[in-house]
DNA sequence: CTGAAAGCGCTTACAG
DNA sequence: CTGAAAGCGCTTACAG
């Protein structure tokens, strides 16, 4: 390449990367030759020489669920627009209470930075990332001392409970608490706490038996809510910690012959892909915006070399549709 | 690292990679030192020296949709189990009729192989991949001369139509044909053709107005089917080319006061995440299995250096739930 | 503005 | 079985 352009490799490097100290004519000639030869610099050689890979790791507990897929998509777009690529790490294991752990050979000299999607890092993982001196931005579950993008879970839950209170409901249930073995995950904890606090704040009642464990899928939520809905001592409204669970609860109710919202109001959190078409009332969060915000924070660390530690809290919004209604 | 182990870098390299011609004692010592020092070989240096990156490109038109997210997840697991990483390329653009195109600097010296998820490659892209001598496995939309993993779309559609015929329906509609500007995508074409052929085969009728365009989302399908369902000259059953569209059609019917399956039967294709809980009849395909199969084919090309050109066709299965019923 | 040279951290024949 | 040396293809001071 340098040979056919009749210049040194150093000049080729400078011309192609748009550095100054190259005469316009030389630059133009180099660019033309590069074009002719389909020349593209080898990224592995560039990385070895420069020490930067222009790759970022995106780490998620699940890749298939809507929330995570939406984040990944938004992050990929933002990062690629700035010449970065993403390598994906799905941490899901077959069992629900353990996951793969981040290791040095996933990261070392392989990526310039990390975005975690709602993954609570262990102390060892935090140490590792510190030792590797990698910038990190967390979405959802925060990582101590690092930048974080999230919504205000407390506020979101309060909004949901308030909506039910406004409709006249006094007996409310909740689905989305999580067994002890996965208690390290932040979001379920936060939402449950916030739910309970809001119930008190608005003077409603929620019996312990009305708080249901579920694994955050629609299928499981349908199953896990059946017993409660079948009995006659039940709440008149249920808050689900995610729209997918809300969909499951509503289906369960319908199968038992309950009308929604006539006999039972159901509200979720997210504004999931199908929530609009299914007429589900929800507290909306803008997932793609969270992905973009995280990508931008990380890019700032990468390009300007100053690592931000901001906490970005994005707004949520009540969307009233057909799954909630006044107490009859 | 070599220094503290008291051996040459060549020996370290051989010991760590498990090559032969290293004495057991030496190997053990090297491994111990590596452990102590948290030593992990720099993948960029390894790649530059060996010419292999152990990274594969996964290329998808959309990352957020269930089908693609499920594939990505399965592929990532399979590949990582064999020491490979994936870098993700989402090709979606804001408009629906164009997409980003694969370029040399996405691939060159960056990945060892490619898996395409239902993306019809342009002639230029095929040329590029040929020129870079990259192995490629396609899922869904085939790439000429390359290995391909898919289901039998004709058979799947025939199964759906037959199910409706068995229930006594004679007037059937279809949703999921696609406007001319995206006609290059294979799946919608195949499914529409197969639907038409099956309608003839089983002696049913489908008027041209009963074939609806839609962009394969639930939301759009709900909208796109409204006019047809509102009229009184309509089919008694509809085949949707995807479950997400089937869900949209059913919601649309319900909102218009039609009972499903009393007034209208709806069947989809996929067995989408929510299809079971929503009681949707469908022709199931195993998406994760397609991802795993593609990963294995590519791995074979990568590890054994013989590129397979097999066509793997995975089975589909009729799952009858509550959205279809006998003609009343 | 441009080039020669060292260096990034590995792997791979080649000797021994 | 082990080591010295060349080479992978770039970037980056350093001279000029």
What does the pLDDT read at residue B95? 59
Task: Compare CB distances from A77 to B69, B90, B276 and report the shortest one's residue.
Answer: B90
Local structure of residue A171 (DSSP, 8 states)? B
CA gap A204, A265 in Å, rounded: 15
Task: Compare CB distances from A38 to B42, B104, B218 and report the shortest one's residue.
Answer: B104
pLDDT class of B6 with cuts at 50, 70, 90: confident
Q: What percent of chain A has pLDDT over 90?
A: 74
What does the pLDDT read at residue A27? 86
Name the B residues in 212-231 with CB < 8 Å from any A CB. 218-219, 222
Judge if the beta carbon of A266 is closer than 7 A to nucleic acid strand C: no
Nearest partner of B97 among B179, B176, B180, B181, judged by Cα: B181
Same fold, B2-41 and B53-151+287-313: no
Nearest residue of chain B to residue A288 (CA atoms) = B64
pLDDT class of B242 with cuts at 50, 70, 90: very high
Whether residue B109 lies within 8 A of chain A, CB to CB, comes out as yes
pLDDT of B129 higher than 80? yes
Q: What percent of chain A has pLDDT over 70?
A: 97
pLDDT of A182 higher than 70? no
What does the pLDDT read at residue A185? 72
pLDDT of B137 higher than 80? yes
Q: Give the count of beta carbons closer than 10 Å to the beta carbon of residue B225.
A: 27
With CB atoms and an 8 Å threshold, state whether B38 touches A86. Answer: no
CA gap B268, B275 in Å, rounded: 9
| 3-class SS of residue A269 | strand
Local structure of residue B83 (DSSP, 8 states)? T
Task: Compare CB distances from B63 to A76, A108, A218 and report the shortest one's residue.
Answer: A76
Structure-model confidence comparison of residues B272 and B181, the more confident one: B272
Measure the N-to-C terminal CA separation of chain A; round to a whole number of Å: 79
Q: Give the count of beta carbons closer than 10 Å to the beta carbon of residue A38.
A: 11
CA gap A297, B119 in Å, rounded: 31
| CA–C1' gap, B73 and C13, in angstroms | 40
With CB atoms and an 8 Å threshold, state whether B45 touches A109. Answer: yes
pLDDT class of A210 with cuts at 50, 70, 90: very high
What values do phi and psi take at A114, rounded to 5? -135, 140
What does the pLDDT read at residue B215? 86
Token pair listed for B121: 């490659």
Pairing between β-strand A316-319 and β-strand A281-285 as defined by DSSP bridges: antiparallel
pLDDT class of A304 with cuts at 50, 70, 90: confident
Please name every residue paired with B87 in a beta bridge, in sequence order, or none if there are none.
A87, B57
Judge if the beta carbon of A327 is closer than 7 A to nucleic acid strand D: no
| CA–C1' gap, A12 and C7, in angstroms | 18
To which residue do tokens 């066509």 refer? B311
| CA–C1' gap, A51 and D12, in angstroms | 12
Judge if the beta carbon of B20 is closer than 7 A to nucleic acid strand D: yes
The number of angstroms, rounded, from the C-alpha of B144 to the middle of its chain's C-alpha atoms is 17
Q: Supply the mean pLDDT for chain B.
A: 92
**Sequence-ordered list of residues with C-beta below 8 angstroms from that of B318, at least 6 positions apart, any chain:** B159, B160, B163, B281, B282, B283, B284
pLDDT of A17 higher than 80? yes
Structure-model confidence comparison of residues A180 and A199, the more confident one: A199
Name the A residues in 243-282 with CB < 8 Å from any B CB. 244, 247-248, 251, 273-274, 276-279
Whether residue A66 lies within 8 A of chain B, CB to CB, comes out as yes
Token pair listed for A61: 């507990």
- CATH number for the region A2-41 comes to 1.10.260.40
In order of B71, B151, B153, the CA distances from B315 in angstroms are 16, 6, 10
Shortest distance between the Cα of A201 and any Cα of chain B, in A, equals 34
What is the average per-residue pLDDT within B67-71? 96
Structure-model confidence comparison of residues A185 and A126, the more confident one: A126
Task: Compare CB distances from A274 to B68, B131, B247 and report the shortest one's residue.
Answer: B247
Shortest distance between the Cα of A220 and any Cα of chain B, in A, equals 9
What does the pLDDT read at residue A117? 96
Name the CATH superfamily for A53-151+287-313: Response regulator (3.40.50.2300)
With CB atoms and an 8 Å threshold, state whether B42 touches A108. Answer: yes
What does the pLDDT read at residue A218? 95
pLDDT of A269 higher than 70? yes
pLDDT of B223 higher than 70? yes
Token pair listed for A279: 């007429």
What does the pLDDT read at residue A181? 60
Structure-model confidence comparison of residues B223 and B26, the more confident one: B223
What does the pLDDT read at residue A184? 66
Whether residue A286 lies within 8 A of chain B, CB to CB, comes out as no
Tens-digit pLDDT profile for residues A143-159: 999 999 999 999 999 99
Spans of all domains in chain B:
2-41, 53-151+287-313, 153-286
Q: What percent of chain B has pLDDT over 70?
A: 97
With CB atoms and an 8 Å threshold, state whether B88 touches A110. Answer: no
pLDDT class of B120 with cuts at 50, 70, 90: confident
Whether residue A32 lies within 8 A of chain B, CB to CB, comes out as no
pLDDT class of B157 with cuts at 50, 70, 90: very high
Give, for A311, the enclosing helix (H) or strand (E). strand A311-314
pLDDT of B182 higher than 70? no
CA gap B294, B274 in Å, rounded: 25
What is the average per-residue pLDDT within B139-167? 96
Instruction: Provide the positions of strand D that have an atom within 7 A of a protein CB.
Output: 1-5, 7-13
Q: Supply the mean pLDDT for chain A.
A: 92
Q: Are A277 and B218 in contact (CB under 8 A)?
A: yes
Mutate to test the interface with A, among B1, B16, B36, B44 (most CBs of A within 10 A): B44
Q: Where are the beta strands (DSSP E) in B161-300?
A: 172-177, 211-213, 237-240, 265-270, 281-285
What does the pLDDT read at residue B98? 74
CA dihedral angle for residue B289, residue A62, residue A292, residue A57, rounded to 10 degrees: -90
Token pair listed for B324: 């279809």
Topology (CATH) of B153-286: Rossmann fold (3.40.50)
Counting every residue, how long is chain A? 328
**Sequence-ordered list of residues with C-beta below 8 angstroms from that of B28, at least 6 positions apart, any chain:** none
What does the pLDDT read at residue B175? 97
What values do phi and psi take at B246, rounded to 5? -60, -40
Token pair listed for B81: 């189990």
Instruction: Provide the positions of strand C that have an atom within 7 A of a protein CB.
Output: 1-5, 7-13
Whether residue A77 lies within 8 A of chain B, CB to CB, comes out as yes
């Amino acid at each position: 390449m340098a040979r056919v352009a009749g210049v040194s490799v150093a000049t080729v490097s400078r011309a192609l990367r748009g550095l100054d100290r190259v005469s316009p004519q030389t630059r133009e000639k180099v660019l033309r030759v590069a074009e002719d030869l389909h020349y593209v610099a080898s990224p592995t050689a560039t990385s070895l020489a420069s020490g930067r890979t222009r790759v970022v790791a995106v780490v998620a507990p699940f890749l298939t669920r809507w929330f995570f897929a939406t984040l990944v998509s938004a992050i990929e777009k933002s990062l690629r627009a700035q010449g970065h690529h993403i390598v994906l790490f799905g941490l899901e294991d077959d069992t629900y209470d353990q996951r793969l752990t981040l290791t040095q050979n996933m990261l070392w000299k392989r990526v310039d930075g990390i975005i975690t999607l709602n993954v609570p890092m262990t102390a060892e993982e935090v140490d590792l990332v510190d030792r590797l001196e990698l910038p990190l931005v967390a979405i959802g579950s925060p990582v101590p001392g690092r930048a974080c993008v999230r919504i205000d879970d407390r506020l979101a839950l309060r909004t949901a409970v308030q909506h039910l209170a406004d409709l006249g409901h006094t007996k409310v249930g909740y689905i989305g608490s999580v067994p002890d073995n996965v208690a390290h995950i932040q979001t379920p904890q936060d939402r449950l706490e916030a739910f309970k606090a809001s119930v008190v704040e608005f003077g409603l009642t929620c019996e312990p038996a009305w708080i249901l464990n579920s694994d955050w899928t629609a299928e499981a939520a349908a199953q896990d809510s059946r017993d409660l809905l079948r009995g006659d001592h039940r709440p008149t409204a249920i808050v689900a910690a995610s729209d997918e669970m809300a969909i499951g609860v509503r289906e369960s109710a319908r199968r038992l012959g309950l009308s929604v919202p006539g006999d039972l109001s159901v509200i979720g959190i997210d504004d999931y892909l199908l929530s609009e078409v299914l007429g589900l009332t929800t507290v909306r969060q803008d997932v793609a915006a969270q992905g973009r915000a995280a990508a931008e924070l990380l890019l700032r660390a990468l390009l300007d070399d100053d690592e931000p530690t901001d906490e970005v809290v994005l707004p949520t919004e009540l969307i009233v549709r057909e799954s909630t209604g006044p107490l009859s």
